[in-house]
Structure 1
Amino acid sequence: MSKRRNTTISIVAAVLSGTLVYGLFQLQRLQLEQRDTVAVVVPKRFIDAGERLAEGDLAYRFVPVDSFDEKMLRDVKLASGMETIVPLGTNEPILDWKINKFRLLPASMESTFQIPREYIRSISNGIRAGDKVTLYVSGENEPSRRLFGAAVTVASVKSAGNVEIDNMHNPNLLSLAEGDRERMYASRRDANGMIDYINLNLSEEQWLELDGLCKDGARKLVVAFSPESLHVGGEAEAER
């Protein structure tokens, strides 16, 4: 009985010893890999152009030092809240030029359309570039209705002279000339004035539906400010 017990103890000790050695080997291998790699930010899923990145969409991935590019982002917080300029593949390292916080560009399946003045019945005061708006169709002999299920993005708002509504204390053109994109964007957001032209980012299907409804003059658009503008990462509220 004693001999059998000793054999069992020897076998268990050998298994434990082997497990410990293997665990130490794996730990050392991981440490060596991390020493020769860099953690970069990647999307957990495919992200289309024009989408806004949320922190839950992002993760870290280790890439070899030899493959690391200085344009790769290394902090999730730098990417969270940004908008994609080009599509991003799953687990693709995010380069800084592929994202932007200026949310005025149309998404990959959209274009920017200037809405003809004769199509519009009314526009809410204070709408600015980057805001979300809800569109309604109003006809003389039919009930008014919402045009699209989701709000759409305002690319720009312009005056009667087809000049973008500007902030007199911080002119957009001056900021543009000085190459100050931060101030230029703030100028567009803070602008206030009478809107005569509005440019919207729409898909082709949305534009064709809108144009088909309004071009005969029997129906017109009511453009209403959407509360969605206040929940885009909290930035719209902060900028107001």
Structure 2
Amino acid sequence: MNRRRNLLLGLVSGALAGLLVYGIYLLQLRQVRWTETVMVVVPNDFVDAGVRLEPDMLRLRPMLRGELQPDMATSIGQVAGQETVVPLGQGEAVRLWKVDRFGLLPREGELTFQLPKEYVLSISNGIRAGDRVRLYASGANAPDGPVLSRDVVVASVKSAGNVEVDNPKQPSLYSRLQDDREKLYASRREANGPIQEINLNLTPEEWLEIDRICGGSKTKLVVAYAGLPEIQEEGMKR
């Protein structure tokens, strides 16, 4: 009886010891993985906003795997050729939301549409390329609220001479990228002409809705300035 009990206790002790060893192994394996290094992309020097990143401006730097974030670039090809949306510090890991390839071009599912002049009642003179605008309608068939369910990005604004409306000495786009609100305000005060044409990045369904409301009727659009693109907020969501 005692022999059988001792045998059972030995088996239980051996099983517990095995589980303990296996647990320690898992902890050590996790620690090793945490201390493993991966390569991330960093700039060689400080890079201002609005600068096109060239391959020779970048290098790879080791980082602990445990510190790696999902939106950090791990190869130079991921970000080379793109423009910085915000400044990058020297040796700072490049995060994908901080760069953009074509900020003014339509995104997936969008196209760039020019609003016909006969569809437009008024355009806020403060609007510049890259801004967000909200569309309202004025007329018998006008909806109670905005025409579209979201604010849309302006691809370009042109004067009567087919010239981009902006301050040629200090373009507002550069001031916006540098997050210099004083220069941004000044450049808008010194704009070089009234807006005659405006191009918006819309989905085909949004354009058809605009055409349905304004086409063949006296209903016209009022294009209101809605603010700058929410660059940082969008980046944090990625």
Query: What TM-score does the superposition give when structure 1 sets the normalisation length?
Result: 0.58
Q: Shift of residue 107 of structure 1?
A: 1.5
Give the conservation status (yes or no) of the 8 Å contact 2:128–2:166: no
What is the one-letter code of the residue matched to 2:38?
Answer: V
Alignment of 1:118-137 (within 5 A): 118-137=118-137
Provide the C-alpha distance between the structure 1 equivalents of 2:70 and 2:18, rounded to a whole number of angstroms: 32
What is the one-letter code of the residue matched to 1:205?
Answer: E
Residue 18 of structure 2 corresponds to which residue in structure 1?
A: 18
Give the conservation status (yes or no) of the 8 Å contact 1:136–1:223: yes
Unaligned runs of 5+ in 1: 42-57, 62-67, 83-98, 173-180, 236-240
Provide the C-alpha distance between the structure 2 equivalents of 1:72 and 1:203, rounded to a whole number of angstroms: 27
The alignment covers a number of residue pairs equal to 184
Provide the C-alpha distance between the structure 1 equivalents of 2:101 and 2:178, rounded to a whole number of angstroms: 12
Give the conservation status (yes or no) of the 8 Å contact 2:130–2:229: no
Give the conservation status (yes or no) of the 8 Å contact 2:132–2:225: yes
Unaligned runs of 5+ in 2: 42-67, 80-91
Provide the C-alpha distance between the structure 1 equivalents of 2:178 and 2:70, rounded to a whole number of angstroms: 31
Q: CA RMSD in A?
A: 4.1
Q: Shift of residue 103 of structure 1?
A: 3.2
Alignment of 1:142-181 (within 5 A): 142-143=141-142, 145=144, 146-171=146-171
Alignment of 1:1-240 (within 5 A): 6-7=6-7, 9-30=9-30, 38=38, 60=70, 69-71=75-77, 78-79=95-96, 81-82=97-98, 100=100, 103-139=103-139, 141-143=140-142, 145=144, 146-171=146-171, 190=184, 191-192=187-188, 193=191, 194-216=194-216, 218-226=218-226, 229=228, 231-233=230-232
What is the one-letter code of the residue matched to 2:203?
Answer: S
C-alpha distance 151-69 of structure 1, shift in aligned 2 (>3 A): closer
Give the conservation status (yes or no) of the 8 Å contact 2:142–2:219: no
Q: Shift of residue 130 of structure 1?
A: 2.0
Residue 88 of structure 2 corresponds to which residue in structure 1?
A: none
Query: What TM-score does the superposition give when structure 2 sets the normalisation length?
Result: 0.58
What is the one-letter code of the residue matched to 1:233?
Answer: Q
Give the conservation status (yes or no) of the 8 Å contact 2:119–2:215: yes
Give the conservation status (yes or no) of the 8 Å contact 1:39–1:60: no
C-alpha distance 186-36 of structure 1, shift in aligned 2 (>3 A): closer
C-alpha distance 225-70 of structure 1, shift in aligned 2 (>3 A): closer
C-alpha distance 197-205 of structure 1, shift in aligned 2 (>3 A): same
Provide the C-alpha distance between the structure 2 equivalents of 1:118 and 1:159, rounded to a whole number of angstroms: 16
Provide the C-alpha distance between the structure 2 equivalents of 1:131 and 1:125, rounded to a whole number of angstroms: 12
What is the one-letter code of the residue matched to 2:103?
Answer: R
C-alpha distance 234-24 of structure 1, shift in aligned 2 (>3 A): closer
Q: Shift of residue 106 of structure 1?
A: 0.9
Identity rate, percent: 43
Q: Shift of residue 5 of structure 1?
A: 6.4
